[in-house]
Chains A and B, each alone.
Chain A
Amino acid sequence: MTTKPEMTAAGIAGAVAAGKMSALEATEAALARIKQYDGVLNSFTDVTADRARAKARAMDADIAAGKAVGPLAGVPFAVKNLFDVAGLSTRAGSKINRDLAPSRRDATLIERLEAAGAVLVGALNMGEYAYDFTGENVHDGPSRNPHDPTRMTGGSSGGSGSAVGGALVPIALGSDTNGSIRVPSSFCGIFGLKPTYGRLSRARSFPFVASLDHLGPFARDVTDLALAYDAMQGPDADDGACTTRGLEPTLPLLANPISDLRIAIAGGYFQKNVFPEAVEAVSRVAKALGTTEVVDVPEAARARAAAYVITTTEGASLHLDRLRKRPDDFDPAVRDRLIAGAMVPAPLVDRAQKFRRWYRAQFAEIFRSVDVLIAPATPCTAPKLGQVNFNLDGVELPVRANIGIHTQPISFIGLPVVAVPVPLEPLPIGVQIICAPWREDIALRVAYALEKMGVVAAPAPRGI
């Protein structure tokens, strides 16, 4: 028996737990799909086949011995290559990090997914050091969009978007500093969860911007997204920013009605700088949710500017010594941005962090009268690989810097977001479901309701 490409994590785990499929069969099916399709997608940089088979065999032995299995039994998954994987150097999309010693221990989130029964099958392509919105990589080549391989996956978790969008694995993990989960979700037509800042442990992952970095899952439906998220929650002393809140499972709440929720469309900034497809996607979601209310988000453009300043300066600080010692081994575009970031005067960074406090208070006020905000995830569907400029609201702008204009003002204050895919033709595009801090349960509930209404769905990959 082999898994169908569209088989979900919940479906695989149910079949494995019921003895209808072995964990090894599920693993072999994923490895076969990777072998068949990844030559086109270029989503994997490492396939950990031996490790995966050993894990699957051990699980099958446990099942045969009558031992209980976890909620992700036999589910193949893969991780952006900034997660530590025991035995691999954590390259974080770079050439330089390949010289690091192999990791001795997996990242916390890998350990938690495997404790729930999931099987790691590999590490995924990404933009260099996560400073990227395109999914392109000068060292490993670009990850490619599963709906049209001539187009971007979005970054920086491009391989994660490509692997799940291409149905090579049902679940992948990525990171999101300014939009790097939500952008690939949008371009690849899948679901992505960027949790509240501090919700999921970042221990043993390669950082980018400490005060903005989040980790989270991608999946092809909302149930799988919640399954993965629930399995990864919990405090972790190894990440100083990780919350000490207890587990708050979302899966049991998914099907709860949403009629009690106050839902609004993010106005002002979030309705500007969009192509028609982004307007159409938000309109479809708003209509399905029965809302026409528009809430203005004050100073979102300044929030995006502040996120930009914090990102470039904290990123520069992280890489300062590598910029001194190995400048020629960086992607030149990343290097030149980081060098410039090192030159930004400190008072501007301090003011950006202070503005963050002010902006956070504005959102706290909004969430007194609204439970959910909806906004575009990206201004457009996936651009062509290598595309340099696009015309936004009559202005010619660089693609690379502007793909994340609608995601940056949200992650800036750590709000939880589910990116949901609206299956437009010819390409899908995502919408952000934004909630108050720690209310991932509401964002997932709304996503689930939209999925049941048929408004959002991960389209079958058409480009492979």
Chain B
Amino acid sequence: MAEPLDDYIDAVSKALALPVEEAWRPAVRANLEVSLRLGRLVDEFALPDETEPAPIFTV
């Protein structure tokens, strides 16, 4: 039975021309679930609209 993220993995795999063999899928899905869970933790934190990204730490 297909997992909830499988359609998304298939779509992004196609869009990026990034191969995902069936044998890799469970590990890719598990890793993506972790990334999305941690991403949600960041997402739910309210930030002011004016907040600038800080890709480089400067003084």
Cross-interface CB contact of B57 among A198, A320, A345, cutoff 8 Å: A198
Residues of B near A357 (CB, < 8 A) are 51-54
Contacting A at CB under 8 A, from B8-59, are 8-9, 12-13, 16-21, 24, 27-29, 31-32, 34-36, 38-43, 45, 47, 51-59
Q: Number of contacting residues on A, CB 8 A?
A: 48
Chain A residue, CB-CB nearest to B52:
A357
Cross-interface CB contact of B52 among A211, A320, A354, cutoff 8 Å: A354
Residues of A near B39 (CB, < 8 A) are 305, 309, 344-345, 348, 351-352
**Distance of A338 Cα from B47 Cα, bound (Å):** 28
A339 CB-CB contact with B under 8 Å? yes
**A351:B56 contact, CB within 8 angstroms:** no
Q: Which 9 A-B pairs have the closest CB atoms?
A: A414-B57, A340-B31, A353-B53, A348-B39, A305-B38, A336-B27, A357-B54, A340-B32, A211-B55
**Distance of A158 Cα from B19 Cα, bound (Å):** 30
**B57:A413 contact, CB within 8 angstroms:** yes
Could you tell me which B residues sit within 8 Å of A by CB distance? 8-9, 12-13, 16-21, 24, 27-29, 31-32, 34-36, 38-43, 45, 47, 51-59
Cross-interface CB contact of A301 among B21, B41, B51, cutoff 8 Å: B41
**A348:B24 contact, CB within 8 angstroms:** no
Chain A residue, CB-CB nearest to B53:
A353
A299 CB-CB contact with B under 8 Å? yes
Chain B residue, CB-CB nearest to A341:
B35
Quick one: CB contact mask for A314-346 with B, threshold 8 Å, 1 for yes?
Answer: 000000100110010000110111011111110
**Distance of A323 Cα from B18 Cα, bound (Å):** 7
**Distance of A198 Cα from B36 Cα, bound (Å):** 29
Chain A residue, CB-CB nearest to B11:
A343
Measured CB to CB, the closest approach of chain A to B40, in angstroms, equals 8
A112 CB-CB contact with B under 8 Å? no
Measured CB to CB, the closest approach of chain A to B6, in angstroms, equals 12
Residues of B near A312 (CB, < 8 A) are 31, 35
Measured CB to CB, the closest approach of chain A to B41, in angstroms, equals 4
Chain B residue, CB-CB nearest to A327:
B19
**A351:B35 contact, CB within 8 angstroms:** no
**Distance of A226 Cα from B11 Cα, bound (Å):** 51
Say yes or no: A337-B31 contact (C-beta < 8 A), given A197-B56, A351-B47, A353-B53.
yes
A-B contacts besides A197-B56, A348-B42, 8 pairs, CB < 8 Å:
A198-B58, A302-B45, A335-B24, A343-B12, A343-B28, A348-B36, A348-B43, A360-B54
Cross-interface CB contact of B35 among A344, A353, A356, A438, cutoff 8 Å: A344
**Distance of A312 Cα from B31 Cα, bound (Å):** 10
Measured CB to CB, the closest approach of chain A to B55, in angstroms, equals 4
Residues of B near A153 (CB, < 8 A) are none
Residues of B near A438 (CB, < 8 A) are 59
A196 CB-CB contact with B under 8 Å? yes
Say yes or no: A197-B41 contact (C-beta < 8 A), given A351-B47, A354-B51.
no
**A336:B56 contact, CB within 8 angstroms:** no
A350 CB-CB contact with B under 8 Å? yes
**Distance of A320 Cα from B41 Cα, bound (Å):** 26
**B24:A305 contact, CB within 8 angstroms:** no
**B27:A401 contact, CB within 8 angstroms:** no
A308 CB-CB contact with B under 8 Å? yes
Quick one: CB contact mask for A412-429 with B, threshold 8 Å, 1 for yes?
Answer: 011000000000000000
